[in-house]
């Protein structure tokens, strides 16, 4: 009844390939974006911003990066944490070496360091496939975990071994550092993530996106129709690592405030992999859906029993977190490998004919 | 320059060098044993079961847990094997079988999910604190023997672990290569349909596979647990199996042995002689870099089967 | 359009190919002329697909040379072959199962699309214009192959006959000079075969594309092709027009499995 495409005819190829051909979708998305930019900073309290929305956005960005590499281009990577670390530590060095430069610019620049590293670790992908490639990415993961923990230059010879985010301003408003408010940090993260997400959407629907999917589905055939496998894979590694790098920088600068390299260990790599599996491999919205899901689960597990009057201790929460996460991964892969994004599409299909069943 | 110096160190103090090699050998043999567990499942089902690592921990924890509950060590052993058998059986029935036609990457990710589940589940049942392996009760030695005026110290537990591991590997290699069931297992690994059509019972094969994987998990768990504590950090060891399998190939028992030794010894030598020069603790990533290096020259591993692509 | 058989487009000279100890092809030589419809036939395992794979650059022969459009080459990567203007379809449909029909065929246009990453990221501007131009080109192919209705369907869901048609579309999208078809009618019923024949004839007559065809259906081969060669156990045992081949005793023997005396 409400969600009908009747009367919406596409008369040009341009309009046929619009992002949101259905008018109701377009309104929906504009509403969400408007809400996020205008309403939320005004009404959300600090807890929601700090504990849910900011990490959700940052993880979505990292998941977006991984989805490009693994979901679209079919190259399994277990090294997301390592690439995020490169972004975070490059940003830290840049910010401390160039204290006068705009910090948002530096965050965006630090992604390029990750991209470079991604290119290097992507070179093996010409000869190596499947889980062998995953092992190459593990090499990146463990190497960078070690590098940023042991080579003191990276954390400016701090005694604690941690990096602390200094205060930086943007038009006189503190954007990073202990005095930056949650609202400011939220807006910064939202702008960066929206911008990069739009770019991702554009790239994915063009020739590069098709080349990635071709390589993923059958790389031999792709080569035979004129797609260069190495170039395509390297572009995927570079872009994906760029996104992971910016996400890593934001993770420390806009979310944690200070960090030791352990936050980027193998667990975060697995977490982000789970996000794209649950959210939907090869889907931009899937990255966001998966990130939301995984950010919310521990919060639900902690708060639900308390609301029901049966509080459980922190250790048990973590155990259940692992169990539920693991079980969900297996269930999604068995029943809906295209994740929440596919479930959402199916729901919309049903909505199109509602209130009729088919 | 300084990177050459370690070679001189090695020659200058050969007893120390032997000690390092010995340590590497012991670790390497245990890596081989874990890798063998992966190879077995991979050969039988074509799936790289990431959860094998957690099985090792589970086995160790079950053994210790049963003992704490009052069961005597030598009764706890077969009881644990039974538990592992049931676990392996459930995993195969519930998870692996449902994913039969999916691409390899999907299966691999499912086993990662499974691992997470088992970690949470295990910590829930056994608690998260590290435990001690019941080495004494299992009549495993804990002294040390020395050579060369106390310069070369070999822990008896290490010797025992190496012997047990080596014997297991030899036994298993012979089993797969020479016995009727072993050959049947390899047939199943190659082609399910063909194996069925020559009358091999898939169910029998699976029973054998689960049983063996349970035993291997237990042996590995005991040996690793004796050297360090029994905790879930052991599951990271599973990740170490990956470079071993890369070197040795995913389907070769010989490869698992050679790969394990190369990685084990390589890691120890690298860490001991060069690690200090760059900040220490390079064991965390050295194995992967070694594997990566080999992959460039032989993408299918030292012993793996060359993949011929057909269109 | 007047279809004139032209000069030699592709020359195959003394090609030998082996895998380990197995000789797939031995000393094969033949020419294909521009705008011709040429068939390669032979019993199963004769090496027909291997021959196509060599022309494509997928297999590299141990001996012999290929020249295409006057250029000699011994080794060519498949990507180069594509850029040079060689396209093909496969025995086992090699479509990108995760993509729709439209995207599969658009993928065939990838080698003609050049806008760089910056414009792709922006979408509006040169990237979109290029996308629309190519979309129009692909839509012409979709009309030609009568597959409008399945434009958005993921190809994995299509029946086999339609998949083969989409694969043909993808090959056409590359705007090839030489089109290699590996058993394009395998597994089709009579109607589907008739459609496929019609498409092949139209492609050859309207677009002037040179076609090399591997096919088992003798009726189709004899009707469609102007010349053909016969392979058996990796060797060329006959070459000529359909009429000449039809009566050739050596060919008949090969198909019937009569033992060779060499």
- On whether residue B305 sits in a domain, the answer given is no
Confidence band of A167 (pLDDT split at 50, 70, 90): confident
Cα C32 from Cα A299, distance rounded (Å): 69
- State the CB neighbour count (10 A cutoff) for residue B254: 15
Contacts of B149 (CB under 8 A, 6+ apart): none
Per-residue tokens: C150: 């399945």
Structure confidence at residue A200 as a pLDDT band (50, 70, 90): very high
Shortest distance between the Cα of C208 and any Cα of chain A, in A, equals 20
Would you say residue B223 lies in a domain?
A: yes
- CB-based contact (8 Å) between A91 and chain B? no
C-alpha–C-alpha distance, residues C205 and C202, integer Å: 5
CA B123 to chain A, closest CA, distance in angstroms equals 6
Chain C residues with CB under 8 Å of B308 CB are: 19
Lowest mean pLDDT among A120-129, B130-139, C67-76, C109-118: B130-139
Contact between residue B27 and residue B267 where contact means Cβ atoms under 8 Å apart:
yes
Chain C residues with beta carbon closer than 8 angstroms to that of B310: none
Query: What percent of chain A has pLDDT above 70?
Result: 93
Interchain contact C84–A (C-beta under 8 A) = no
Q: Which of A108-122, A262-276, B207-221 has the lowest mean pLDDT?
A: B207-221
* CATH number of the domain encompassing residue B44: 1.10.3470
State how far residue A200 is from chain C, nearest Cα, in angstroms.
7
Q: In this model, does residue A316 exceed pLDDT 60?
A: yes
- Averaged pLDDT, A300-312: 75
Proportion of chain C above pLDDT 70, given as a percent? 95
Interface of A with C (CB under 8 A): 13-14, 17, 199, 202-203, 205-208, 210-211, 213-214, 216-218, 220-229, 235, 282
Chain A residue with minimum CA distance to B95:
A330
* More confidently predicted of A19 and A96: A96
Does residue C102 surpass a pLDDT of 90? yes
> Any idea which residue has 């690439």 for tokens?
A83
In Å, how far is B141's CA from the nearest CA of chain A?
Answer: 35
Residues of B with CB under 8 A from a CB of A: 48, 95, 98-99, 102, 104-106, 108-110, 112-121, 123-124, 128, 236, 239, 242-243, 246, 278-282, 284-285, 288-289, 291-292, 295-296, 299, 309, 311
d(CA A282, CA B310): 26
> What is C1-85+176-262's CATH superfamily?
P-loop containing nucleotide triphosphate hydrolases (3.40.50.300)
Among the listed residues A133, A147, A146, the one whose alpha carbon sits nearest the alpha carbon of residue A237: A133
Q: Rounded CA gap, A106 and A95, in Å?
A: 7
The mean pLDDT value of chain B amounts to 79
Question: Tokens at residue A308, please?
Answer: 């029901």
The confidence score (pLDDT) of residue A275 equals: 94
Considering only the beta carbons, identify the residue of A138, A318, A320 that sits closest to B242.
A138
Does the structure show a pLDDT above 80 at A94?
Answer: yes
For residues B205 and C161, which has the higher predicted lDDT (pLDDT)?
C161
The CA distance from A321 to A294, in Å, is 10
Partners of B291 on chain A (C-beta within 8 Å) are: 135, 139
- Which residue spans of chain C are classified as CATH 3.40.50.300? 1-85+176-262
User: Residue C171: closest CA among chain A residues belongs to which residue?
Assistant: A225
Instruction: Give me the mean pLDDT over the A320-348 stretch.
Output: 88
Contact B296 A270 (CB under 8 A): no
Contacts of C58 (CB under 8 A, 6+ apart): A220, A224, B311, C78
Spatial separation of the C-alpha atoms in residues A124 and A138, rounded to whole Å:
13
Distance of alpha carbon A63 from alpha carbon A200, whole angstroms = 12
How many CB pairs lie under 8 A apart between chains A and B?
A: 139
What confidence score (pLDDT) does residue A111 get?
95
Q: Residues A115, A249: contact at Cβ < 8 Å? A: no
Q: Look up residue A96 and give its two tokens.
A: 């401390």
Does A2 score more than 70 pLDDT? no
Smallest Cα distance from B107 to chain C, Å: 18
CB contact, 8 Å: C93 with chain A?
A: no
Mean local confidence (pLDDT), A267-288: 92
Angstroms from B217 CA to nearest CA on chain C: 38
Sorted by where each starts, the structural domains of chain A and their CATH numbers stand as 22-265 (1.10.3470)
Q: Does C207 touch chain A (CB under 8 A)?
A: no
Q: Assess whether the previous peptide bond of B63 is cis (omega < 30° from 0).
A: no
Q: Contact, B209 vs B44, CB < 8 A? A: yes
User: What average pLDDT does range C96-110 have in this prediction?
Assistant: 93
Instruction: Look at residue A5 in the predicted model and tell me its pLDDT.
Output: 63
Nearest-angstrom CA–CA distance, C215 and C88: 14
**Shortest CA gap A343–chain B (Å):** 18
Q: Which residue, A40, A46, A85, is CA-closest to A62?
A: A85
Residue of A64, A207, A239, A339 to mutate, interface with C, max C Cβ within 10 Å: A207
Q: What is the pLDDT of residue C262?
A: 43
Cα-based distances in Å from A76 to A203, A347, B144, B284, C73 = 20, 29, 45, 21, 36
Q: Which residue of A has its CA nearest to C103?
A: A210
- Residue C199 distance to chain A (closest CA, Å): 20
User: What is the average per-residue pLDDT within C84-106?
Assistant: 92
Contacts of B106 in chain C (CB under 8 A): none
Q: Do A316 and B299 count as a contact with CB atoms less than 8 A apart?
A: no
- B311: in domain: no
Number of CB atoms found within 10 A of residue A214's CB:
29
pLDDT at residue number B192: 66
Vertex C172, ends A71 and A225: CA angle to 5°?
Answer: 40
Domain that holds residue B262: 5-297
Q: What is the mean pLDDT of chain C?
A: 87
Sign of CA dihedral B125, B131, B137, B138: positive
CA distances for A274 relative to A267, A279, A297, A328, B41, angstroms: 10, 8, 12, 9, 24
Interface of A with B in 250-289 (CB under 8 A): 266, 270, 273-274, 277
What's the ipTM? 0.88
Mean of the per-residue pLDDT values of chain A: 87
The verdict on C58 touching B (C-beta cutoff 8 Å) is: yes
- Give me the mean pLDDT over the A66-76 stretch: 93
Low-confidence ranges of chain B (pLDDT < 70): 1-2, 128, 135-142, 144, 146, 148-151, 189, 192-193, 233-235, 299-311
A124 DSSP 8-state letter: G
Q: Hunting for tokens 């597990």 — which residue is that?
A: A301
Burial B235-253 (b: 16+ CB within 10 A, else e): bebbbbbbbbbbbbbbbbb
Number of C-beta neighbours around residue A97 at 10 A: 10
Give the number of other Cβ atoms within 10 Å of residue A211's Cβ.
27
Pick the residue with more confidence: C68 or B102? Answer: C68
Evaluate whether residue B306 is within a structural domain: no
Q: What is d(CA C183, CA C213) in angstroms, rounded to the nearest whole number?
A: 7
* pLDDT at residue A40, rounded to an integer: 83
Task: Give the per-residue pLDDT at C143.
Answer: 93
Q: Are B63 and B131 in contact (CB under 8 A)?
A: no
The answer, yes or no, to whether residue C4 has pLDDT greater than 70, is: no
A151 touches chain B (CB under 8 A): yes
Token representation of residue A248 = 């890593």
Burial code (b: 16+ CB inside 10 Å, e: under 16) for A293-314 equals bbbebbeebbeeeeeeeeeeee
| Residue B156 domain flag | yes
Q: DSSP strand E in B120-203: where? A: 144-147, 152-155
Where is C73: in which H helix or E strand?
A: strand C71-73
**Mean pLDDT calculated for residue range A9-33:** 74
Phi first, then psi: what are they for C33, rounded to 5°? -100, 155
**Cross-chain Cβ contact C88/A224 below 8 Å:** yes
- Chain A residue numbers with beta carbons less than 8 Å from the beta carbon of C136 are 13
Task: Provide the H-helix boundaries in A205-283.
Answer: 207-217, 219-224, 229-250, 266-279
pLDDT tens across C127-158, in order?
888 998 999 999 999 999 999 999 989 999 99
Residues in B closer than 8 angstroms to A274, CB to CB, are 113, 116
pLDDT number for residue C2:
46
Contacts 24+ apart (CB under 8 A), B277-284: B277/B2, B277/B3, B277/B6, B278/A150, B279/A146, B279/A150, B279/A151, B280/A150, B281/A146, B281/A150, B282/A146, B284/A142, B284/A145, B284/A146
- In this complex, is the C-beta atom of C132 within 8 Å of any C-beta atom belonging to chain A? yes
Assess A198–B contact: CB distance below 8 Å, yes or no. Answer: no
Residue count of chain A, please give it: 358
Total number of domains constituting chain B: 1
**Phi and psi torsions of A75, nearest 5°:** -100, 110
Residue B106: HSE in the Cβ half-sphere, 13 Å Cα cutoff: 23
Hey, is the C-beta of C203 within 8 angstroms of any chain A C-beta? Answer: no
Q: Where are the beta strands (DSSP E) in chain A?
A: 163-164, 168-170, 173-176, 258-259
- Residue pointed to by tokens 């794209």: A276
């Amino acid at each position: 009844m409400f969600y009908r495409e009747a009367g919406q005819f596409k008369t040009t190829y341009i309009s046929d390939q619009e992002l949101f051909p259905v008018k109701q979708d377009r309104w929906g998305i504009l509403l969400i974006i408007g809400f996020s930019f205008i309403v939320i900073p005004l009404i959300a309290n600090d807890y929601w911003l700090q504990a849910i929305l900011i990490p959700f956005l940052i993880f979505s960005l990292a998941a977006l990066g991984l989805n490009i590499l693994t979901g679209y281009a079919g190259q399994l990577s277990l090294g997301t944490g390592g690439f995020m670390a490169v972004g975070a530590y490059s940003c830290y060095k840049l910010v401390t070496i160039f204290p006068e430069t705009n910090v948002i610019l530096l965050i965006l620049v630090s992604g390029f360091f990750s991209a470079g590293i991604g290119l290097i670790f992507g070179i093996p992908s010409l000869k190596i496939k499947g889980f062998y490639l995953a092992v190459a990415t593990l090499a990146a993961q463990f190497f960078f975990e070690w590098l940023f923990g042991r080579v003191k230059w990276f954390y400016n010879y701090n005694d604690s071994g941690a990096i602390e985010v200094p205060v930086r301003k943007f038009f006189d408003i503190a954007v990073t550092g202990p005095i930056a408010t949650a609202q400011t940090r939220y807006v910064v993260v939202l702008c960066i993530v929206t911008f990069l997400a739009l770019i991702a959407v554009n790239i994915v629907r063009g020739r590069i996106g098709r080349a990635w999917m071709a390589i993923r589905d059958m790389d031999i055939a792709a080569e035979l129709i004129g797609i260069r496998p190495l170039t395509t894979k390297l572009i995927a590694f570079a872009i994906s690592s760029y996104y992971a790098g910016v996400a890593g920088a934001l993770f420390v600068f806009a979310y944690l405030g200070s960090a030791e390299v352990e936050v980027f260990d193998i667990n975060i790599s697995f977490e982000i992999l789970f996000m794209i599996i649950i959210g939907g491999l090869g889907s931009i919205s899937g990255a966001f859906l998966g990130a939301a899901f995984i950010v919310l689960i521990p919060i639900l597990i902690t708060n639900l029993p308390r609301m029901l009057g049966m509080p459980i201790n922190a250790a048990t929460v973590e155990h259940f977190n692992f169990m539920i996460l693991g079980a969900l991964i297996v269930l999604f892969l068995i029943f809906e490998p295209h994740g929440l994004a596919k479930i959402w599409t199916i729901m919309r299909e049903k909505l199109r004919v509602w209130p009729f069943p088919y | 320059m300084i990177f050459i110096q370690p070679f001189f160190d090695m020659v200058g103090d050969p007893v120390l060098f032997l000690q390092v090699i010995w340590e590497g050998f012991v670790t390497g043999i245990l890596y081989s044993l874990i890798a063998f567990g992966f190879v077995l499942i991979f050969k039988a089902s074509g799936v790289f079961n990431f959860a094998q690592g957690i099985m090792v921990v589970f086995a160790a924890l079950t053994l210790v847990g049963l003992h704490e509950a009052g069961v005597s060590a030598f009764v706890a052993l077969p009881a644990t094997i039974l538990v592992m058998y049931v676990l392996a059986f459930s995993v195969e029935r519930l998870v692996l079988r449902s994913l039969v036609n999916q691409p390899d990457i999907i299966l691999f990710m499912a086993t990662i999910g499974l691992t997470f589940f088992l970690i949470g589940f295990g910590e829930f049942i056994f608690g998260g604190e590290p435990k001690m392996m019941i080495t004494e009760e299992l009549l495993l030695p804990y002294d040390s023997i020395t050579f060369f005026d106390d310069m070369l110290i070999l822990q008896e537990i290490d010797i025992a672990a190496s012997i047990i591991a080596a014997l297991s590997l030899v036994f298993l290699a012979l089993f797969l290569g020479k016995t009727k069931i072993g050959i049947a297992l390899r047939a199943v690994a190659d082609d399910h349909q063909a194996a069925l059509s020559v009358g091999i019972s898939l169910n029998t094969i699976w029973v054998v596979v689960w049983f063996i994987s349970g035993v291997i998990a237990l042996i590995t768990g005991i040996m690793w647990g004796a050297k360090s504590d029994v905790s879930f950090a052991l599951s990271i060891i599973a990740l170490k199996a990956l470079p071993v399998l890369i070197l040795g190939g995913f389907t070769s028992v010989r490869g698992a042995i050679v790969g394990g030794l190369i990685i084990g010894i390589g890691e120890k030598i690298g860490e001991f002689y060069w690690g200090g020069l760059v900040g220490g603790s390079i064991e965390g990533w050295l194995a992967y870099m070694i594997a990566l290096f080999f992959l460039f020259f032989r993408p299918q591993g030292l012993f793996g089967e060359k993949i011929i692509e057909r269109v | 359009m007047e279809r004139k058989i032209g000069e030699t487009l592709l020359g195959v000279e003394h090609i030998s190919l082996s895998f380990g100890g197995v000789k797939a092809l031995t000393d094969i030589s033949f020419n294909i002329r521009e705008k011709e419809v040429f068939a390669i036939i032979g019993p199963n395992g004769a090496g027909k697909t291997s021959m196509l794979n060599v022309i494509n650059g997928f297999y590299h022969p141990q001996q012999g040379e290929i020249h295409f459009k006057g250029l000699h080459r011994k080794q060519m990567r498949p990507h180069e072959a594509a850029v040079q203007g060689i396209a093909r379809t496969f025995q086992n449909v090699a479509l990108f199962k995760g993509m729709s029909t439209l995207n599969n065929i658009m993928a065939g246009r990838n080698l003609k699309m050049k806008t760089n990453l910056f414009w792709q990221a922006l979408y509006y501007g040169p990237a979109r214009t290029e996308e629309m131009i190519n979309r129009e080109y692909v839509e012409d192919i979709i009309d030609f192959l009568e597959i409008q209705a399945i434009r958005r369907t993921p190809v994995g869901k299509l029946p086999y006959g339609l998949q083969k048609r989409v694969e043909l579309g993808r090959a056409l999208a590359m705007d090839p000079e030489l089109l290699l078809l590996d058993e394009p009618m395998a597994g089709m019923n009579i109607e589907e075969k008739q459609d496929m024949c019609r498409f092949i004839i139209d492609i050859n007559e309207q677009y002037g594309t040179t076609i090399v065809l591997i096919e088992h259906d003798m009726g189709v081969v004899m009707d469609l092709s102007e010349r053909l060669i016969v392979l058996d156990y990796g060797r060329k045992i006959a070459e000529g027009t359909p009429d000449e081949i039809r009566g050739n005793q050596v060919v008949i023997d090969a198909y019937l499995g009569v033992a060779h005396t060499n």
